[in-house]
């Protein structure tokens, strides 16, 4: 892929962009070997029932099942490395902020790979699987003693520890959500990458950016490549398209 692969109006919009906001989903980490959620065969929700594993009710019903499932996922995450898509976003941030531009990276991913790649302004909308928090007192911990108890218990109140991720039916962290809306409302260029756009409120962010007059680019495997400025869609893998786009 090279500059000729892209609509010249998109390249012009990217070059002149001064306030960039990016929304990422599981598709960005797929090339790092982390399964997405809704891919027909390999997606987590094709293999497991979300209501048995990713809700507060499921945790109350069977805390060990939920803890073990997230421990299995965490194992996969800590062994994964950022891919070319993550690294291209680090480069885009550097380019945009080298002048007086602003850049915000809003992610639904809980894998921490954007920060691991070197992204500086990451807004984690759905939490981070590398942290835990107490189900009772809410105390967040980066480290916890692996004990025979699964889940282990909170050092403060003795409550059960759970992954610090947002489960279905739970509120998003208010500060992250406010920052995401602010970035989408103020940007002149919005990139939506590797998300099915099925989960709110994240799914509404590209529309908010469009309403504020931003150019919106979607990179995904379930869109057809088309240009209808200010909207641009590119069918392709994030790890292929992003490096070429950022170089262009
Ligand atoms: N490059 C670009 N897009 C990709 C790639 C890739 N290499 N691989 C898959 N995709 C696309 C898929 O076509 C799909 O549209 O990424 C999207 C992944 O969608 P989902 O699996 O639904 O993941 P996501 O949108 O991040 O889910 C949102 O749902 O389950 C909850 O909390 C969870 O944060 C998650 C939220």
Looking at residues 165-194, what average pLDDT do you find?
97
Question: Looking at residue 41, what is its pLDDT?
Answer: 66
Please report the beta strands in 135-246, taking only residues with DSSP state E, as ranges in sequence order: 140-141, 161-165, 189-193, 215-220, 226-228, 231-235
Question: Measuring from atom 4 of ligand 1, which residue has the nearest CA?
Answer: 27
- What are 124-161's pLDDT values in tens digits? 999 999 999 999 999 998 777 777 788 999 989 999 99
Looking at residues 203-216, what average pLDDT do you find?
98
In the numeric block, which tokens belong to residue 106?
């809003």
Rg (alpha carbons) of the chain, rounded to whole number: 19
- State which of 31, 194, 205 you would mutate to test the pocket of ligand 1, scoring each by most atoms of that ligand within 8 A of its C-beta: 194
**Least reliable range by pLDDT among 147-151, 164-168, 212-216, 227-231:** 147-151
Q: Which ligand 1 atom sits nearest the alpha carbon of residue 26? A: 26
Report the mean per-residue pLDDT for the chain. 94
Residue 216 dihedral angles phi and psi, to the nearest 5°:
-120, 120
User: Is 126 tagged catalytic?
Assistant: yes
Question: Measuring from atom 9 of ligand 1, which residue has the nearest CA?
Answer: 27
Looking at residues 213-241, what average pLDDT do you find?
96
pTM, rounded to two decimals:
0.95
CA distance 248 to 238: 15
**Does the pLDDT value for residue 86 go beyond 90?**
yes
Q: Judge if the beta carbon of residue 163 lies within 6 A of ligand 1.
A: no
Q: In the chain, what percentage of residues exceed pLDDT 90?
A: 85
In the numeric block, which tokens belong to residue 108?
């639904």
Residues forming beta bridges with residue 19, ordered by sequence position: 102
- What are 46-83's pLDDT values in tens digits? 777 888 899 999 999 999 999 999 999 999 999 999 99
Q: Judge if the beta carbon of residue 35 lies within 6 A of ligand 1.
A: no
Q: Judge if the beta carbon of residue 43 lies within 6 A of ligand 1.
A: yes
- What are 95-113's pLDDT values in tens digits? 999 989 999 999 999 999 9
Q: How far is the CA of 43 from the centre of ligand 1 (A)?
A: 9
CA distance 78 to 94: 25
Question: Looking at residue 68, what is its pLDDT?
Answer: 93
Question: Measuring from atom 34 of ligand 1, which residue has the nearest CA?
Answer: 108
Q: Is 223 helix (H, G, I), strand (E, B) or coil?
A: coil
């Amino acid at each position: 892929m090279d500059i000729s692969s892209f609509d010249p109006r998109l390249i012009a919009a990217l070059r002149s962009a001064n306030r960039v906001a990016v929304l990422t989903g599981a598709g960005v980490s797929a090339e790092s070997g982390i399964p997405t959620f809704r891919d027909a065969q390999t997606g987590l929700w094709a293999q497991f029932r979300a209501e048995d594993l990713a809700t507060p009710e499921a945790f109350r019903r069977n805390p060990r099942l939920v803890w073990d499932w997230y421990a299995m996922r965490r194992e996969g995450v800590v062994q994964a490395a950022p891919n070319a898509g993550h690294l291209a976003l680090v480069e885009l941030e550097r380019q945009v902020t080298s002048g007086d531009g602003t850049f915000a990276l809003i992610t639904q991913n809980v894998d921490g790979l954007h920060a691991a790649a070197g992204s500086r302004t990451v807004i984690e909308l759905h939490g981070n699987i590398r942290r835990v928090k107490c189900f009772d007192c809410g105390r967040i911990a980066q480290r916890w003693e692996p004990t025979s108890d699964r889940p282990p218990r909170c050092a403060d109140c003795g409550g059960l520890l759970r992954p610090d991720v947002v489960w279905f039916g739970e509120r998003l962290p208010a500060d992250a959500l406010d920052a995401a809306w602010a970035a989408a409302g103020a940007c002149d260029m919005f990139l939506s990458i590797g998300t099915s756009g099925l989960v709110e409120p994240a799914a509404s962010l590209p529309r908010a950016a469009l309403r504020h007059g931003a150019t919106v680019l979607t990179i995904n495997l379930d869109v057809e490549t088309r240009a209808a400025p200010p909207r641009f869609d590119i069918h392709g893998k994030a790890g292929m398209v992003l490096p070429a786009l950022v170089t262009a």
